Structure 1
Amino acid sequence: MPVRELTPTGDFSPRAPYELIELAPCSPTIGAEIAGVDLARPLTPELFQELNRALLEWKVLFFRDQHLTAHQHRDFARWWGVPEIHPFLPKADLPEVVRLSRGADSPAVENVWHSDVSFDVTPPMGSILRAVHVPDVGGDTLWADMAAAYDGLPGAMKSRLQGLRAVHDFTQSFGKRLSGEDLTRAQEKYPPAVHPVVRTLPESGRKLIYVNRIFTSHIEDLEPEESRELLDFLFDQARHPEYQCRLRWRPGTVAFWDNRATQHYASGDYYPHTRLMERVTIIGDRPA
């Protein structure tokens, strides 16, 4: 594999000011804390436009002290599209709201870099996660900017990745909990999906790495050893702090991330304490 080249990837040109929100960046390229917004109240079209622009610019937005009902959580997500009903995860008070409960009887399993539901033909455009109960210390979530990670690749690697397509398959994760007819039915409903290794965001034209360790099984038309070597190299790009931001949760904190442009990692360092989160994901389009 070629030597990594860490290069500055932030867009440090002046951005247009925001008029309806207060925005504080968490890093040069990814993550921003938003103030001046009550997500329990319906958005206006003008506020939606500002939040959408902030999401595209910063890839993950953090909101503090947002105490939402499941209906308010879902309704906020609907401004960006149709909420997904996850095929495998437990639900909260609405089918569109997933409940992620971890503690002494259910250790964390989200402590692997990944992009939500990339095994679908149309993976989520975004995910909105709300903290219900969190430990006093631990349980942080980290996000990686996969567009900045792509920008940091050597030129020869970028050329090598052109036109490559990778297979994403739920059986590597959720499938391990199923067997027999349940697994067969799930495989019929969710066959492996094939996506570009390098995805392009339609709004900006930015290219980004779109493979992840949980769901990506192999790269088409490569020998197994070459596929595994290349995937391991690409998976590791999310692990570099230069491309990351980190959130320490409090009850009522909401994180909204562009699931296309990021990967995330939920630290499992709080065992055996309890961490209860609720999530809505928004159906996206076919990656290109």
Structure 2
Amino acid sequence: MIDTRLHIEALPGCGAVVRNVDLTQTGDGEIDQIRQALFDHGMLVFRGQSLTPEQHIALAERIAPIDVNRFFPADPAYPVIAKVEKTAEQTTNIGGGWHTDHSYDREPAMGSILVARDLPPSGGDTLFADLYAAWATLPDDLRAKVRDLRAVHASDHVFGETGAYAGTDRKELAKGGVETPETVHPVVIRHPGSGKPVLYVNPGFTMRFEGMTREESLPLLMKLFAHAIDQSRVYTLRWEPGDVAMWDNRATWHFAKNDYHGHYRLMHRITLGGCALEAA
């Protein structure tokens, strides 16, 4: 008899690796287990997979509704797949700083499924930080200061006409004319899938606390950011051919290392739709 039970093993710092699974042959029960494990651990790694683009899409549709990213270039043959690509000639990568995707949206994307397509000979790791643990270990004085706050998130400073990408060799990501209004979320949310409290701010898109200027907000934000990326709460994913990673934007941050200049890297990403977030 074939053993169809999933083996889920926690990784150091953040996330879990899921073994004994072929993502092209999963039943509904396994999909439910994977979805709940994603909510509970924040990030999942599946080694040794061989997903075609069609299978990647089919898997995503079983986890959650697909939310097409409006900033990243799409694969011409598969519009719901974003190409996270860096050529050998380019110097700027995508996602090269700590952030969580789509926090600038009123209903932030639940997460993403990333498939390794073409890897450099070395480098190109992705770091993940555990924001469940960040809140659980936050000192009491900081908890008291932020528990009832709300924070303003935005994207124009990154993806706007004069944003961070505009002056780089990735200016195709500077989507001038795309409406990206500021959005407000609780600083501490109750995760809709696990029920656990999560620290929900990030260096990439959190601008300030509601009712405060950015200058007034930065000292406290910087303390939260530094706490979240303590190495005890970070896992480094060293990609191998065939790897698939899923992450939950509500429970993690990620950071794509840009240490493979002169080499090509292509990842396929599908974004998963989410919901409005409530305070813990």
TM-score normalised by L of structure 2? 0.88
Q: 1:44 to 1:149 in 2, by over 3 A?
A: same
Match of 1:157 in 2: 142
Tell me, what secondary structure is at the counterpart of 1:78?
Answer: helix
Equivalent in 31, 47, 50 of residue 30 of structure 2: 47
> What is the root-mean-square deviation in Å for CA atoms of aligned residues?
1.9
Would you say how many aligned residue pairs link Structure 1 and Structure 2?
A: 264
Describe how 1:162-177 pairs up with structure 2 within 5 A. Answer: 162-175=147-160, 176=163, 177=166
113-122 vs 71-80, which moves further: 71-80
Give the conservation status (yes or no) of the 8 Å contact 1:140–1:248.
yes
Give the conservation status (yes or no) of the 8 Å contact 1:123–1:285.
yes
Cα distance, 1:135 vs structure 2: 1.3
Rounded Cα–Cα distance in structure 1 between residues aligned with 2:182 and 2:106: 8
Give the conservation status (yes or no) of the 8 Å contact 1:144–1:244.
yes
Match of 1:257 in 2: 247
Describe how 1:72-221 pairs up with structure 2 within 5 A. Answer: 72-92=55-75, 93-106=77-90, 107-175=92-160, 176=163, 177=166, 183=176, 185-187=177-179, 190-221=180-211
Cα distance, 1:160 vs structure 2: 1.0
Rounded Cα–Cα distance in structure 1 between residues aligned with 2:245 and 2:122: 18
Tell me, what secondary structure is at the counterpart of 1:62?
Answer: strand
Rounded Cα–Cα distance in structure 1 between residues aligned with 2:69 and 2:269: 10
Q: 1:154 to 1:238 in 2, by over 3 A?
A: closer
Rounded Cα–Cα distance in structure 2 between residues aligned with 1:223 and 1:121: 21
Unaligned residue ranges in structure 2 (runs of 5+): none
Determine if the alignment matches structure 1 residue 31 to structure 2 residue 21: no
Cα distance, 1:168 vs structure 2: 1.1
Cα distance, 1:217 vs structure 2: 1.4
Rounded Cα–Cα distance in structure 2 between residues aligned with 1:224 and 1:50: 41
Q: Percent identity?
A: 37
Rounded Cα–Cα distance in structure 1 between residues aligned with 2:221 and 2:266: 32
Give the conservation status (yes or no) of the 8 Å contact 1:97–1:280.
yes
Cα distance, 1:19 vs structure 2: 6.2
TM-score normalised by L of structure 1? 0.86
Give the conservation status (yes or no) of the 8 Å contact 2:208–2:218.
yes
Q: 1:270 to 1:149 in 2, by over 3 A?
A: same
Give the conservation status (yes or no) of the 8 Å contact 2:148–2:186.
yes
Tell me, what secondary structure is at the counterpart of 1:222?
Answer: coil
Rounded Cα–Cα distance in structure 1 between residues aligned with 2:106 and 2:257: 28
Give the conservation status (yes or no) of the 8 Å contact 1:167–1:217.
yes
Rounded Cα–Cα distance in structure 1 between residues aligned with 2:191 and 2:242: 30
